[in-house]
Amino acid sequence: MDLPSLAELLQQIINGVSRGSVYALIALGYTMVYGIIELINFAHGDIFMLGAFTALTFVAVFGVDSRNPALHDPVALISVLLITFIFTMLVTGLLGVVIERFAYRPLRNAPKLAPLISALGVSYILQNIGQVWKGPSNITFPDIIPETFIRIPIGEQFLIIRWKAVIIFTISIMFMVLLTLFVQRTKLGKAMRATAQDQTTAQLMGININRTIALTFFIGAALAGAGAILYGMFIKGVQFTVGFAIGLKAFTAAVLGGIGNIPGAMLGGFIIGMVEAMSDTFLETRWTQAVVFGVLILILVFRPSGLLGQRVAEKV
Amino acid sequence: MQRAENPSQARGGGGLFPQARKASRNSMIAAAVISVFLLLLPVPQMLSEAGIVRLPIRFDQAFINAAADTACFTLLALGLNIVVGYAGLLDLGYAAFFAIGTYTYAILASSFFDLHVPFWIMLFVSGLVTALFGVAFGAPTLRLRGDYLAIVTLGFGEIVPIFILNLDQLTAGTNGISGVDKPAIGPVIIGANNDNISFYYLGLALIVLIVFFINRLRDSRLGRAWMAIREDELAAATMGINTTTTKLWAFGLGAALSGFAGTFYGAHLGFASPQQFNFSQSVLILCMVILGGMGNLWGVMLGAAVIYLLQTVVLIQLPTWLGNLGKSTNLDFLISFNENVRLTDYTFFIYGIILVLFMLFRPEGLIASRRRKLELHPESEKISDQERQDLYDVRETNQTDTDVRGSQP
């Protein structure tokens, strides 16, 4: 195997980071839900998938396409993007709340396996909805932002950065900062952290835990919706099965960073994106999935608390 | 000590089915009726093939074919039941072991490498291979908490098909291995000329054997240890149960059963392809266990039959049936239903609904295991609260006791 040049290596790192920022957004939903009710929300990946379909429908209805001359005005473009984000995030967020209300809340005191199996069922239901809605084939996302590149010369070669990659990275970092501020600085965020620590005590302090948990699901699912738009803009092809594959990768990211830990999920997302990009280049693409799942198993076996998580004794 | 450990033995004589002995007369009659029904199931087809009778409904090959496959999935559900139902470990990658079992048979008994090990030997070889995989995979992972274990098994279930797909020198990659051997008793080949009836009986025989084995196992020291771990791992460990070994046994035996099932499956289909063993296959088997009743042998078998026949017969045939009914009764909406709705598009939806609704309203499944029911129902929370209160009261009254042993009631 030839050693890669510096430019190639940098190129893969950039590809990995931009892909990883989408994983990071989805991983946040897993980590928040796990942090507050210790449930692996299997349906989260499929909420992401339905988010992509919602955005797709919305974009198609309003004829959003980079070839549309009305969108060449940057103000119009930004406002259209903003509306797409708000609409999609509202839809997925509400979907998350509805799922929590009907499939998880009644099982909050049941043995741990019960909500996990229920989540698996919800994931299947959502997948089928996606399949019936948009059909089983791959659907192409229209270009909202025109495809342009930045070329940076390094030695003899060029480092090519897609403008989209920059935008995706910026938007996801923005969401992460907003989320961190929300959880750390607002009263609702404080309620969330309190509920995660001890539900009974939080209740005694006057926190409405049902509402707090519903809010957590809303935010997590809304972030998955945002991730879905970014994914659609970047990767372009969306299929009803995408939720399972992306969901599992995002979950791996959440575990890698330390599940329940918000900065950890972001870090994990970037690392998984990079691992994928490296495996694509240095191994073959057909092994990439196996490498990611291998990472998942190794982390769970050797360091289940993840990179940034603290080792906690199991509640008895 | 050894004597008293098995309650059914202590009460004199194990019997073939200890549970059935305790059960009422009615359920024994039901079991007898079902056995006779299952034994006679292929008879109409035999008669019509021999030209003795003409059946009003077409009993084609496909029906008994589905019945033989149902037997295979019953074996799988029985195996997963050991892991999920008895030991309480959620395994979301069970299809991986099934894949390993099928491929072990396909590689060692087909023209691919020109190896032709007899089916009966392979039944045990595949069982052993899958069990070894189960133990090798379980050893580092089984100490993980329940939900983490579920994810690790899911990852394993995803990795195995990728390996099968990519190691094409060993597994023929996407092409799959065809021309897998049929079992033979002396010169007689079972299932020659697509004879599904003998495969069906072979499947039934395997199920009877396995059910007998598992039924004895459940009441053994190991079986009771599984249930103790399922109910409370910490308490079980305190009672001196080696939780790791016990869980490994569950994992290994469950995997071994999927090796049996895989061998049977490979021989029946005559083909092994990597597409047969994805995540939805694992969920399908899990669905069978949940629908029927985790931890209850009869329930699990019922679940396997219901789900498999639902998938392969009912969902495919129902629109046609309704359409025919519509034609004969002149109900237009039934005819248009047949023309417009493909029920097979909603298979995932139906599995999902089964999983969610059963978890919400009847987590113990159609036929409940009595112990499992107590655990799974929130009402049992009251019982455990009461127990905790009692313990607390006992501790209060024994406060003056300095001797720890004195506080035992």
- Mutation target among B142, B152, B380 for the A interface, most CBs of A within 10 A: B152
Length of chain B: 409
**How sure is the predictor about B392, in pLDDT bands with cuts at 50, 70 and 90?**
low
- Mutation target among B81, B160, B287, B355 for the A interface, most CBs of A within 10 A: B355
Q: Say what the pLDDT of residue A157 is.
A: 74
CB B290 to CB A255 under 8 A? no
Residue A145 has pLDDT above 90, yes or no: no
Q: Say what the pLDDT of residue B397 is.
A: 63
> Of B214, B249, B205, which Cα lies nearest the Cα of B17?
B214
Whole-number Å distance between alpha carbons of A280 and A284: 6
Q: Say what the pLDDT of residue A315 is.
A: 41
End-to-end CA distance of chain B: 22
Residue B398 has pLDDT above 70, yes or no: no
Whole-number Å distance between alpha carbons of B89 and B221: 18
> Of B92, B289, B254, which Cα lies nearest the Cα of A297?
B92
Q: Say what the pLDDT of residue B3 is.
A: 41
CA B150 to chain centre: 17
CB of B378 less than 8 A from some CB of A? yes
CA distances from A47 to A119, A253, A306 (A): 12, 17, 25
What residues pair up with A140 in beta bridges, in sequence order? A237
CB B159 to CB A123 under 8 A? no
B231-267 pLDDT tens trace: 888 899 999 999 889 999 999 999 999 999 999 999 8
CB A40 to CB B360 under 8 A? no
Across the range A236-258, mean pLDDT stands at 86
Least Cα separation, residue A66 to chain B (angstroms): 35
Q: Which of A7-21, A114-128, A245-259, B332-346 has the lowest mean pLDDT?
A: B332-346
B374-384 pLDDT tens trace: 776 655 566 66
Whole-number Å distance between alpha carbons of A112 and B150: 11
B146-195 pLDDT tens trace: 788 888 898 899 899 989 988 888 888 778 888 888 887 777 777 776 67
Radius of gyration of chain A (CA): 20
Full DSSP string of A70-139: GGGSHHHHHHHHHHHHHHHHHHHHHHHHHHIIIIIGGGTTS-THHHHHHHHHHHHHHHHHHHHHH-SS-E
**Nearest residue of A to residue B357, measured between CA atoms:** A118
Q: Say what the pLDDT of residue B408 is.
A: 42
Q: Say what the pLDDT of residue B222 is.
A: 93
**With contact defined as beta carbons under 8 Å apart, do B98 and B261 qualify?**
yes
Across the range B27-52, mean pLDDT stands at 75
CB of B105 less than 8 A from some CB of A? no
A36-91 pLDDT tens trace: 888 888 899 999 999 999 988 888 877 766 666 666 677 877 888 888 899 999 99
Question: A151: phi > 0 → left, psi -120 to 50 → alpha, else beta; which?
Answer: beta
Across the range A180-187, mean pLDDT stands at 90
B211-221 pLDDT tens trace: 999 989 988 99
Q: Flag whether the ipTM exceeds 0.90.
A: no
Full DSSP string of B337-371: HHHH--GGGGHHHHHHHHHHHHHHH-TT-SS--HH
State residue B362 phi and psi, 5-degree precision.
-145, 70
**With contact defined as beta carbons under 8 Å apart, do B299 and B368 qualify?**
yes
Selecting from A120, A129, A300 the residue whose C-beta is nearest the C-beta of B152 gives: A300
Across the range A144-162, mean pLDDT stands at 76
Say if strands A157-162 and B109-110 run parallel, antiparallel, or are unpaired.
unpaired
**With contact defined as beta carbons under 8 Å apart, do A151 and A14 qualify?**
no
CB of A132 less than 8 A from some CB of B? yes
A264-283 pLDDT tens trace: 888 999 999 988 888 887 87
**How sure is the predictor about A310, in pLDDT bands with cuts at 50, 70 and 90?**
low
Q: Say what the pLDDT of residue B82 is.
A: 93
Whole-number Å distance between alpha carbons of A60 and A91: 16
The pTM (predicted TM-score) of the whole model is: 0.83
**With contact defined as beta carbons under 8 Å apart, do B180 and B115 qualify?**
no
Across the range A18-33, mean pLDDT stands at 88
**Nearest residue of B to residue A316, measured between CA atoms:** B234
